[in-house]
Each structure stands twice: as structure tokens, then as C-alpha cells.
Amino acid sequence: MVERKPFYSADDIRHLEYQHSRPGEAPFLRGPFTQMYRHKPWTIRQYTGFANAEASNAAFKQTLAEGGQGLSVAFDLATHLGFDSDHPAAQADVARTGVAIDSVEDMKRLFAGIDLSRVSVSMTMNGAVLPIMAAFIVAGEESGVAREQLRGTIQNDILKEFMVRNTYIFAPKPSLRICADVVDYLSHALPNFNSMSISGYHFQEAGAEPALELALTLANARAYLDAISARGLDLDHFCHRLSFFFGVGMNFFDEIAKLRAARLLWCEEVEHRGARSDRAKRMKMHCQTSGWSLTAQEPHNNLIRTTIEAMAGVFGGTQSLHTNAYDEALSLPTEHSARLARNTQLILQQETGICDVADPWGGSYMMESLTQQMADKVRDYLRQIDAMGGILAALESGWVSEQIHGQALRAQSRIDNGQRPIIGVNRFVSDDEARPPVRAIDADEVLHQQRQRLQRLKETRDTSRVEAALADLTTAAASPTANLLAFTIEAIRARATLGECTQALLKQMRRHQADAHYLAGRYGLERRQDTQWRSVRREVDAYHQLLGRAPRALLVKLGLDGHDRGVRLVASGLKDAGFDVDISALFSTPEQVQRMLDSAPYDALGISLLSGAHLPLVEQLLNTLGPQSCDRLGVFVGGIIPDQDIPALTAMGVDAVFPPGSSMEAIIRKLITVLADKRSALGFKSVSYR
């Protein structure tokens, strides 16, 4: 958090350079446009996508009919990672966290009846950016929309995938080339399409505080500018189509200051690089309220949290906004929760008068001062990154991960020791366990349908044309000057699938796999004075005495789920409590987990799943391990698990389920109790370990 004073006065801002600047004027600290929301309010753009193209198309139409002003597509994990729905590695993950798209035919179904010359479309796609962007362009073309008329944004921000979001396919270097190819191609062929959405949101979700979020976003943006400029493209030709994306959490003042500082620093950066036009220097941004800040406990409280965060986004001057649904920590939004989330924005836009004045916090002693402090803090981070040799070097050295994870650990320890209040979680906890109904997706049905569609597509297309186009794509991947988006468009137009295009590229570029890490020592250090924590540590010590060694846990991520904030936190907490802990790489298969379990005497197996695929993935894993494993091992599942799925997990052999918001003490105590019970059940002497 940026340092606060009890009150601010004119003395705090007298020395500030930009205090007399205006909205719509460089350095744009006060907003990218003079009239801001008076001329055009921010775009209500809700991130949506689930099941198949038809279901998501219906949701888009409903969004637009009920006040949504733009579209934003959430793809499923199989699509993100370049797998067709019939790929063996993707089976459990198809259709769950977003819509399954395998071909241009699916893309056409996704936008059927929606006029792409009138509605702007954002697509959150990074790993499989080539086939998805190509399918969108061909879908537009085949529905009669000229390329210049297509408006929207492709996320195309691969660097943060290696740092946090984890839906990369290729290694950083070839991935950067793909990013630059997309920017280059779109800047010429789709002049109204934003070719990147350089994202901070995911850093915040992974644990970064606002200043670190902004610093990493700008550091990545610099790397993109370097890569694109190296091709000889002029900043004034492409910069105005680089867009930004930030998270907005509960730290109200800092979040507003962050968005103001972001515009200032971006303007300085591109000016310094020689940009001349205002439109190149003016940062435009999308914001999303924080998913992490929402709780599974008393979910209706989340409506209030989201409203406050949305206001910070708007006071910060965002151009586009997604407000999360209140059932975020339980499942994907239902129609009802999505409607309330959208209405939150409509009420702000239409009932409050908030749109009347540009930058209403401008001139506040406190806000101007905080904005300056935020900018200074971010500049410090950027200097550190420069000193390491740039963001790629900082990433490789582990610094980025350590910074983010360190801040996540600190936040968690402050929640667990009660210093950071979360109403309904660590304060004023309610006994009322009533949970709202959640959205259920029939993923098996979509899987079946997608497989049939793929088969039909392959039967009806001109195979030799597809093969030739894919061979050309492979050849282009070997030639640094070829534009890979241009070649992918040809393949997609010939009805090659997303998976086939990815395979064609993989012939030249390997699939990238990163190791998993966690930090030891930090969590325990934060909590060393805390009696609750000391008592949990004593319980682990006693159990250690009983076993004659430290209890040992293996924590794993299964399927295609890349969310690793939770698993890394639990690994750190268990380690500092006295466990021996190993953590699997992302995307582990049941066979890999079995091999790890065979390699050391583990007592506990923790499975982290936030992708909705917990039922099939846990079942597959436990079937592979066999029933004796569950007699010996404590099996635990953590993540976004709807209540109604808990009995099925228990029946499979899972000993306990930990939803979001579970405290470290609760997790550790439960582990020790279960492990001790299993030991006694196996005939070991039952000794009190407390």
C-alpha cells in the first residue's frame, strides 16, 4: 500500500508538475479524453463464455439486449492451450471455464445474428492467438463485414502468461514473435482493432499490490514496444491500438491513483521513444473488478465489494469495465448474477451523475499526492527491472515470481492473523450457510457435440488444400520474416482446426513447460508472533515426533488449469508449519502424480482445481492411484468447488475439501487430524499428538 498521511493539504501538491493539466491533454493523467464520460460513458463489457458457441451466443445477445455495450469472449482452457476438443489431454477441460472453439465454423456460430460492424468484440486469447484471431477475421469476412469495420481487442499479451496466467503454448521468444506478427498484421489490415490488451489484472489476482501490478504491466509493454519497433514500425502507426487492462481491488484510493499514474507513465514512455501524436501517447484501458477479493462465504457481500471496485475503476477513468458476478467464488455466473453485475454498471452510469464530470478526484490534495507516490514507486520498480537487464531477465531469474508470490503470502498472512479484515471470513462470520444456486455446465454433452462437429468438418473439407496451407504455416514458422497471422488465416479459411494450426507451429516451436516453485519462510515469518499460528505449529511438531519425521505433502495441479496462487500459498504455509512439501508442475497427468507419489513417503496429497473440472480429474487420478492409496494417504481438494459436488468427491475417497477463503490454520489442523486418523485406522498406536 502507498503510504498514507492522516490528512493532506495544499503543501502536499504545490510541487507537483501536473496539477494544472487537463483531461484529454498530455500526459493524460486526468483522462484520455477532454469530455470523458459526458461524451461517451465507459463501455459495459462483461466477460462471458461457457459451454458451446450457441449457448455463449445466446448469452451475448442477452447481454446486448439488457444494456451491455460490447462483447468480451471467455474461451475454454482447451482452446487457450491450442487443443481441439477431441484431444486426449483436453477431455476434462472442454467447455468449462469458457466457450469451446475448434474452427471457423464455431466462431461463426458464436457471432451468428450479431452485426460485427456495429458491436466491438474483445477476445481474451494469448497462447492460441493466431488461430483465434484468424478465425475471427475469416468469420467477419464470410458474414460480409469488411476488415476495416471490425472493431475490438485481442489480448495478445503473452509475457504475463509466463509470469502468472499460464496459458502459454510456445517458449517466450517464439511467443514474442507471434505477438509482434499479430500487431504488425492488424495495424495494416484491421486499423480499428486493438492489437494488444497489455494486462495487469492477472498480476493483481496472483497477489501483486497495485504498484507492482502497474510496474510489471509497463515493463511488459516496454518489451513489446522494443519487439515491434525492431521491425521498423513507427510508433505513431501502431501505438494507439495498444490497449491496457487493469484489475481493481478493494484498496479504493490506491486503485484510482494507479489508473491515473498509469496514463502518466505510459505517456512519458512513448514520448521518450519519439511518439508524436496524442493518440499514440494516450493510454486507453479496460478494467475488471477483482475476482480474488470476492468470497465464497456470504456471497451477497460480493455485490457491495464489486460496486466499490467499479467506482474506483470509473473514478480512475477507465474506457471499458467488467464487473464480476457475486457468485464468482462458487462457479461461473448464472443469468441472474450476470444481470446484477451488469446492472451495477448501468446504475452507476445512469442513476448517479458520476458521468457528468471528468476526473472528479482531480485537485484532491490526497489523490494528487497518492498519484505521484504511486508513479514514483512504479518508477523505482522499473529501475530495478532495468538493472536486471529487462523484464525477460527478471522473469528468468525468478524475481517476478518472488515479488508477486511474496506479496500474496503477506496478504494471506494478514488475513489469517486478522490484521486485514474480510467481513464474513475473518470477522463477523455468519452461521447462515445458505448458498445461492450456481451454474452447472453439461460439459460431457458439449464434448460429444464438438467431437461430432470436428469429424463432420474433416469429412467435408478439401483435405489437400488444408494440408498445403498447414505445410505453408510450418514453413513460415521457420522463416523469421514471414507473418504467421497471414499464413494462419489461409489455413483457417481452408477449414484447418485450431489444434491443427497449433500442431503445424509446434513442428518448429516446442511446447513450453515451466517448473513450479513456492517460497519458504515468508509466511511463517509474518505470523511468528501470532499465538494461533504457534499453536498450529506445535500440533505439527507433535505429529512430527509421532512419525519420527516431518509429515510430507505433495500438492498437484491437474488438467489444463493454470491458476497457481492458491496452491503456492498452501505449499508455503504447510512448509512453514513444519511439513515437507513438494509441488507438481502445472498440467500434471495422473501417471505423473503416481510417479511422484512413488518417489517419496508422502502422507498427504493436495489437489488444487479452479477450472470446474474437479469431478472427472479427481476421479481419473484416484482410479489411477487405486483404493489402497486413499487408505494410506490423506487426500485433499482445494479450489472453486460447488457445495453440491462435495458428496461425490467424498465418495471417491477425498478426505476434505477447502473452498476459497479457507484459513491456513483450518487447512493444517484438518490435515493433521485426517492423517492421524488414517494412521490409527491402519493399526498404528493412537497417541494424542496435541
Shortest approach of ligand 5AD to residue 270 CB, angstroms?
28
**Which residue in 31, 49, 131, 634 binds ligand 5AD (CB under 6 A)?**
49
Report CA-CA distances (Å) from 430 to 89, 298, 433. Answer: 41, 8, 8
> Is 639 near ligand 5AD (CB under 6 A)?
no
Q: Which three cell numbers stand for residue 245?
A: 487492462
Which strand (E) or helix (H) includes residue 637? strand 634-639
Closest CB to ligand MLC among residues 70, 127: 70
> Is 33 near ligand MLC (CB under 6 A)?
yes
Residue type, 608: S
- Segment interacting with ligand 5AD (CB under 6 A) among 26-34, 46-54, 476-484, 630-638: 46-54
> Is 332 near ligand 5AD (CB under 6 A)?
yes
Length of the chain as a residue count: 690
Report CA-CA distances (Å) from 197 to 67, 224, 384. Answer: 23, 11, 24
- Residue that is written with C-alpha cell 513456492 in the block: 518
How far the first Cα of the chain sits from its last, in Å, is 38
> Is 122 near ligand 5AD (CB under 6 A)?
no
> Is 320 near ligand MLC (CB under 6 A)?
yes
Closest CB to ligand 5AD among residues 425, 466: 425
Closest CB to ligand MLC among residues 153, 663: 153
Largest CA distance in the chain: 78
- Residue that is written with C-alpha cell 521513444 in the block: 273
> Is 337 near ligand MLC (CB under 6 A)?
no
> Is 281 near ligand MLC (CB under 6 A)?
no
Is 512 among the residues known to form the active site? no
> Is 572 near ligand MLC (CB under 6 A)?
no
In the range 575-634, which residues lie near ligand 5AD by CB under 6 A? none
Report CA-CA distances (Å) from 611 to 123, 245, 315, 324, 364. Answer: 19, 22, 32, 17, 43
Binding partner of 291, given ligand 5AD, ligand MLC, none, CB within 5-8 angstroms per partner class = ligand 5AD
- Segment interacting with ligand 5AD (CB under 6 A) among 25-33, 41-49, 371-379, 475-483: 41-49
Binding partner of 324, given ligand 5AD, ligand MLC, none, CB within 5-8 angstroms per partner class = ligand 5AD
Is 237 among the residues known to form the active site? no
Report CA-CA distances (Å) from 464 to 1, 131, 134, 461, 498. Answer: 59, 19, 20, 9, 17
Distance of CA 75 to the CA centre of its chain: 12
Q: Exactly one of 557, 575, 614, 678 is catalytic; which is it?
A: 557
Binding partner of 96, given ligand MLC, ligand 5AD, none, CB within 5-8 angstroms per partner class = none
Query: What value does the CA radius of gyration of the chain take, rounded to a whole number of Å?
Result: 25
Is 202 among the residues known to form the active site? yes
- Sort residue 206 into left (φ over 0), alpha (ψ -120 to 50) or beta: alpha
Cβ-proximal residue to ligand 5AD, closest one: 291
Cβ-in-10-Å burial (0-12, 13-18, 19+) of 226 comes to middle
Residue type, 47: Y
Binding partner of 497, given ligand MLC, ligand 5AD, none, CB within 5-8 angstroms per partner class = none
DSSP 249-265: -S-HHHHHHHHHHHHHH
> Is 35 near ligand MLC (CB under 6 A)?
yes
> Is 72 near ligand MLC (CB under 6 A)?
yes
HSE-CB for 397 with a 13 A CA cutoff: 13
Which strand (E) or helix (H) includes residue 634? strand 634-639
Closest CB to ligand MLC among residues 325, 618: 325
Binding partner of 120, given ligand 5AD, ligand MLC, none, CB within 5-8 angstroms per partner class = ligand MLC
Q: What angle do CA 172, 395, 661 make, to 5 degrees?
A: 105
> Is 245 near ligand 5AD (CB under 6 A)?
no
The helix/strand/coil state of 416 is: helix
In the range 267-306, which residues lie near ligand 5AD by CB under 6 A? 291
Each residue 86-125 as x (binds ligand MLC by CB under 6 A) or -, in order, gives ----------------------------------x-x-x-
Closest CB to ligand MLC among residues 153, 373: 153
Q: Which three cell numbers stand for residue 615?
A: 469431478
Shortest approach of ligand 5AD to residue 365 CB, angstroms?
34
Q: Helix and strand tally (H, E) in the chain?
A: 28, 14
Closest CB to ligand 5AD among residues 47, 602: 47
Is 336 among the residues known to form the active site? no
- Segment interacting with ligand MLC (CB under 6 A) among 43-51, 219-227, 260-268, 383-391: 43-51
Shortest approach of ligand 5AD to residue 324 CB, angstroms?
4
- Residue that is written with C-alpha cell 462483447 in the block: 71
> Is 285 near ligand MLC (CB under 6 A)?
yes
DSSP 330-369: TSS--HHHHHHHHHHHHHHHHHS-GGGSSSTTTT-HHHHH
Strand order in the sheet with 656-658: 580-583, 552-557, 604-609, 634-639, 656-658
Ranges of H-type helices in 633-663: 646-652
- Segment interacting with ligand MLC (CB under 6 A) among 36-44, 425-433, 495-503, 663-671: 36-44
> Is 499 near ligand MLC (CB under 6 A)?
no
Report CA-CA distances (Å) from 301 to 206, 255, 306, 425. Answer: 22, 20, 9, 11
**Which residue in 27, 68, 70, 660 binds ligand MLC (CB under 6 A)?**
70
Shortest approach of ligand MLC to residue 610 CB, angstroms?
11
Binding partner of 332, given ligand 5AD, ligand MLC, none, CB within 5-8 angstroms per partner class = ligand 5AD
Shortest approach of ligand 5AD to residue 217 CB, angstroms?
16
> Is 530 near ligand 5AD (CB under 6 A)?
no
> Is 153 near ligand MLC (CB under 6 A)?
yes
> Is 247 near ligand 5AD (CB under 6 A)?
no
Which strand (E) or helix (H) includes residue 126? none
Report CA-CA distances (Å) from 541 to 235, 480, 634. Answer: 60, 57, 18
Q: Exactly one of 37, 185, 201, 381 is catalytic; which is it?
A: 201
Residues that bind ligand 5AD (CB under 6 A): 47-50, 74, 97-98, 291, 324, 328, 332-333
Residues that bind ligand MLC (CB under 6 A): 33, 35-36, 39-40, 43, 45, 47, 70, 72, 74, 120, 122, 124, 153, 155, 165, 192, 194, 197, 201-202, 243, 245, 284-286, 288, 319-320
Question: What are the catalytic residues?
Answer: 47, 201-202, 557, 561, 563
